Structure 1
Amino acid sequence: MGLERVQQVRLAADLHPQFPVITVGGTNGKGSVCAMLEAILSEAGYRVGCYTSPHLLRFNERIRIHRQEAPDEAICAAFSAIESARQMHQTSLTYFEVGTLAAMWLFIRQSVEVAILEVGLGGRLDAVNAFDPDCAVVTSIDLDHQDYLGNTRGAIGLEKIGIFRKHKPAVCAEPEIPFIVRQHMQEMGANLFLLNEHFSYQSEDLCWHYQGHHRQDCNLPLPALNGACQLQNASAVLATLEAMEAKLPVAQDCIRRGLERVSLTGRFQQIAINPAVVVDVAHNPGAVRQLAANLNAAVPDGQTIAVVAMLKDKDIVSTIRELVGSVDCWVVAGLEVSRGASAKEMQVALRQAGIDHKCLIGVFSNVSLAYAYACDYANENDRICVFGSFHTVGAVLEVFAAINR
């Protein structure tokens, strides 16, 4: 792992953005922060390029310009340009590295006025870090990708803040920053915007308030994304806009419209009723802890039935354990990808997490079969919750789309 190869190809492809770049990292909440930034800046009239990952159904979802997915032809042209630059150095690039460089190639040629880049994994050695951000955001610090980033929140946090730059705004919405991370932040010399120190938020029933360095926004509409965690994410967004105010001024009415109109697939998203079907890409203990809180905030008249499939390199047992007490019945499935856990491995993990075997009502080789069974099993007062991976949610969304064509 490293940025040397990416930097070589970036220079060969002449990728030198002349517009502000906002880089967003963190364990959970990255997609939500990117979506809210994209919505608000678009409402303010800026031509926004947004690069996120992974996708659910189409690669095109990863590269958006002016809130539209890049078309196939444009993406292929970008791939071709990056491949030509790669061949100049006879070096290798990963799938994600090619996608990152291709996205920036498109943003430059489409004359975007600001680019939002979501970190894929970690931060310090992630491909998006080949581009110096004008503002960097870390949404949260929790356990995930331990094989790559370390086994403690401190070690993981050090990788996350690798996207910060000296004398540039650096926003961190993690409320419990590990000591070693805080110490390193201060040594880096970035202009820090820390939650509960430099900015804060307060929730009310139908609105919320933001208090920052030198601005206060009261009676803001709740974000149109489900989940209590979205106010923490939204506060990071407003801190970012405050930090970038000189380069990207945004009126408060644009903030309000952006919060009201933001959308993001697969984040505690209800896709059906009677029975209710909720899909969530949560795939680590921290994210599923928030999923449990969201489920507990609105308990259905009937049962909650979980459909879960995960990648085998995740902490499956600890992740499932977060939903003990919030789920009545479980349906497990295998993921038909190279990193996917098998149905048998999911069944074993369920037992290790302390789930009573009587609560396991189905074991299936793939997500489509598991989801179909849950739908047959559920009555109209029940709730089906699909979670565990982007692959899991993507499979269900594909089935749902086919049914509703």
Structure 2
Amino acid sequence: MSEPTNNQASSKQAWSLQQWLSYLHEIHPNNIELGLERVAAVFQNLELSFNKNTVITVAGTNGKGTTCALVEQVLLAKGKTVGVFSSPHIIDYRERVRIQGDMLPESAHCQAFLKIEQARKNIPLTYFEFGTLAALLLLNESNIEYVLLEVGLGGRLDAVNIVDPDVAVITGIDLDHQDWLGDTKELIAKEKAGIFRPGIPAVIGDPSPPLSLKQAVLDYNVKPKWQGVDFSYQVTNSGFCWQNKTQQFDNLPVPRIPTQNASTALQVIDILGLEVSQQVLTQVFESVSLPGRRQVLQTQPTVMLDVAHNPQATQLLAADLKQMECNRIIAVVAMLEDKDIVASLQPMMKHVDIWLCASLTVPRGGDAQQIVSALNSSATTSLAKKVVDFPDVEQAYSNALDIAQSDDCIIVFGSFFTIAEVLNLNIKS
């Protein structure tokens, strides 16, 4: 496809959001192409600047979205203006940009896409790069104090890294996207540390960071705050407790997001110099949520959705399931074929009583038999446990609802696509 001229770009003024998204998929052969040169050129053409904003960039294998969400909610509770860019979305593309906690109308995204199309001239952009630039444009035009940017993939060469942050956050490091970031945690951590800038505060949420991350802190000369050293948390029968060198909060409600990420977010809030009362935090912890992250759809039986799709995420999910009071745990799981299925299922095996394994009917979607084989090959999976395969998520989820008793828990996990299918089923019903 030939690159558009500005006249051709102008002809797209009446395009719908769906037309734009289809076009973004068509204009570049690759979904991922790491590197900042193309994005930097278009960013310069747009003459964007975030010098008047406080920018918090959040990287990590897991926990980016929930960390951003809690920081966002505290800022809003304090009367601050804030915008968030996150990815991927689950159902609605507009989920990727929030201003003051709300999505923008489709028309705003369409206008932003048009401006990017005009500014890029002959520069090829991937779907993610195009969308990132449009999001940055929307945030820049919103006249907000705080900008939260979630890194899509890696850090150093991710399109988000075109913006210099005032605070850098790394939530956790695990094996994922090895084809792009490296096949060890040390290599992945080095890539994610690319969001660091000399002299800025850096919050490290991983309680067991790779050595390469510790070295990167020295190389970039950032001011680090380490989970478990400079700040820490614990969950007791009385609630969520958190402390650092200067503050302490006891008996907060246990949030509906992973507690490790809540702890990381509180350290970010502390760095921003905001004085937050126990009352404000209590209100935020009671309300903060994000679709597909420990999302409870119903009770009796409990249905919980989580996008966990790699070993670190499922380990945290398994720890939370252990605390839940339910008779049986019924898992509905579907994953992409290029994920580490065996290692991702391992933390869940001793907690799940019934496995309902589904095929994902999307590009790179894994087959249910891959999951069945992974479960059957594990010594942790008792022969007494039920393992069943289904052709799609809809049938697996429907079976879970049919067999679940009121005191059971259904956990749906394995991919953003898995969660999207279940949420779409609930919308239709």
Q: State the Cα distance separating 1:356 from its structure 2 match.
A: 5.5
Mapped to 2, the partners of 1:4 and 1:317 lie a distance apart of 37
1:60 pairs with one of 72, 80, 94? 94
Q: State the Cα distance separating 1:172 from its structure 2 match.
A: 0.4
1:99 pairs with one of 94, 110, 131? 131
Mapped to 2, the partners of 1:85 and 1:277 lie a distance apart of 45
Secondary structure of the structure 1 residue equivalent to 2:339? coil
Q: What residue is the counterpart of 2:256 in the other structure?
A: 225
In structure 2, what residue type is equivalent to 1:21? V
Are 1:150 and 2:182 matched, yes or no? yes
Q: State the Cα distance separating 1:381 from its structure 2 match.
A: 3.0
Mapped to 1, the partners of 2:205 and 2:153 lie a distance apart of 18
What are the residue-to-residue correspondences of 1:200-219 with 2, within 5 Å?
200-213=232-245, 215-219=246-250
Give the number of equivalent residue pairs: 393
Q: What residue is the counterpart of 2:119 in the other structure?
A: 85
Q: State the Cα distance separating 1:256 from its structure 2 match.
A: 4.0
What do the CA deviations read for 1:207-248 (whole angstroms, capped 9, x no partner)?
4443334x213326235315xx41x22221122122222xxx
1:293 pairs with one of 319, 326, 334? 319
Are 1:345 and 2:349 matched, yes or no? no
Q: What residue is the counterpart of 1:312 in the other structure?
A: 337
Q: State the Cα distance separating 1:342 from its structure 2 match.
A: 2.0
In structure 2, what residue type is equivalent to 1:211? Q
Mapped to 2, the partners of 1:129 and 1:162 lie a distance apart of 8
Contact 2:202 2:224 in 1 (8 A): yes
Contact 1:24 1:30 in 2 (8 A): yes
Given the superposition, is the C-alpha separation of residues 19 and 276 from structure 1 closer, same or farther in structure 2, using an over 3 Å criterion? Answer: same
Q: State the Cα distance separating 1:361 from its structure 2 match.
A: 4.4
Cα RMSD, aligned residues only? 1.9
Mapped to 2, the partners of 1:321 and 1:181 lie a distance apart of 26
Mapped to 1, the partners of 2:284 and 2:324 lie a distance apart of 26
Secondary structure of the structure 1 residue equivalent to 2:355? strand
Mapped to 2, the partners of 1:80 and 1:255 lie a distance apart of 40
What are the residue-to-residue correspondences of 1:103-142 with 2, within 5 Å?
103-142=135-174
Secondary structure of the structure 2 residue equivalent to 1:322? helix
Mapped to 2, the partners of 1:84 and 1:219 lie a distance apart of 52
In structure 2, what residue type is equivalent to 1:64? R
Contact 2:189 2:210 in 1 (8 A): yes
What are the residue-to-residue correspondences of 1:258-273 with 2, within 5 Å?
258-273=284-299
Are 1:330 and 2:355 matched, yes or no? yes
TM-score (norm 1): 0.92
Given the superposition, is the C-alpha separation of residues 15 and 223 from structure 1 closer, same or farther in structure 2, using an over 3 Å criterion? Answer: farther
Given the superposition, is the C-alpha separation of residues 380 and 207 from structure 1 closer, same or farther in structure 2, using an over 3 Å criterion? Answer: closer
Q: What residue is the counterpart of 1:11 in the other structure?
A: 44
Contact 1:320 1:353 in 2 (8 A): no
Are 1:35 and 2:69 matched, yes or no? yes
Are 1:174 and 2:206 matched, yes or no? yes
Contact 1:143 1:156 in 2 (8 A): yes
Q: What residue is the counterpart of 1:284 in the other structure?
A: 310
Mapped to 1, the partners of 2:41 and 2:138 lie a distance apart of 18
Q: What residue is the counterpart of 2:409 in the other structure?
A: 383
1:251 pairs with one of 266, 276, 280? 276
Mapped to 2, the partners of 1:369 and 1:108 lie a distance apart of 44
In structure 2, what residue type is equivalent to 1:55? H
Given the superposition, is the C-alpha separation of residues 31 and 394 from structure 1 closer, same or farther in structure 2, using an over 3 Å criterion? Answer: same
Mapped to 1, the partners of 2:262 and 2:98 lie a distance apart of 20
Which consecutive residues of structure 1, in runs of 5 or more, have no partner in the other structure? none
Q: State the Cα distance separating 1:10 from its structure 2 match.
A: 0.9
In structure 2, what residue type is equivalent to 1:212? N
Secondary structure of the structure 1 residue equivalent to 2:124? coil
What do the CA deviations read for 1:345-389 (whole angstroms, capped 9, x no partner)?
333333334546764543222111111122122233322111001
In structure 1, what residue type is equivalent to 2:403? Y
Mapped to 2, the partners of 1:199 and 1:328 lie a distance apart of 36
In structure 2, what residue type is equivalent to 1:121? L
Given the superposition, is the C-alpha separation of residues 259 and 377 from structure 1 closer, same or farther in structure 2, using an over 3 Å criterion? Answer: closer
Q: State the Cα distance separating 1:340 from its structure 2 match.
A: 0.8
Mapped to 1, the partners of 2:285 and 2:409 lie a distance apart of 27
Contact 2:38 2:123 in 1 (8 A): yes
Q: What residue is the counterpart of 2:195 in the other structure?
A: 163
Q: State the Cα distance separating 1:297 from its structure 2 match.
A: 1.5
Task: Work out the percentage of aligned pairs sharing the same amino acid.
Answer: 42
Deviating more after overlay: 341-350 vs 235-244:
341-350
TM-score (norm 2): 0.87
Q: What residue is the counterpart of 1:234 in the other structure?
A: 262
Mapped to 2, the partners of 1:277 and 1:154 lie a distance apart of 36
Given the superposition, is the C-alpha separation of residues 84 and 360 from structure 1 closer, same or farther in structure 2, using an over 3 Å criterion? Answer: farther
Deviating more after overlay: 118-127 vs 179-188:
179-188
Mapped to 2, the partners of 1:212 and 1:74 lie a distance apart of 41
What do the CA deviations read for 1:288-334 (whole angstroms, capped 9, x no partner)?
11111122212422x22111100111101111122111111111111
Are 1:401 and 2:401 matched, yes or no? no
Deviating more after overlay: 357-366 vs 262-271:
357-366
In structure 1, what residue type is equivalent to 2:370? E
Contact 2:255 2:262 in 1 (8 A): no
Q: What residue is the counterpart of 1:392 in the other structure?
A: 418
Mapped to 2, the partners of 1:276 and 1:208 lie a distance apart of 22
Q: What residue is the counterpart of 2:216 in the other structure?
A: 184
Q: State the Cα distance separating 1:265 from its structure 2 match.
A: 1.6
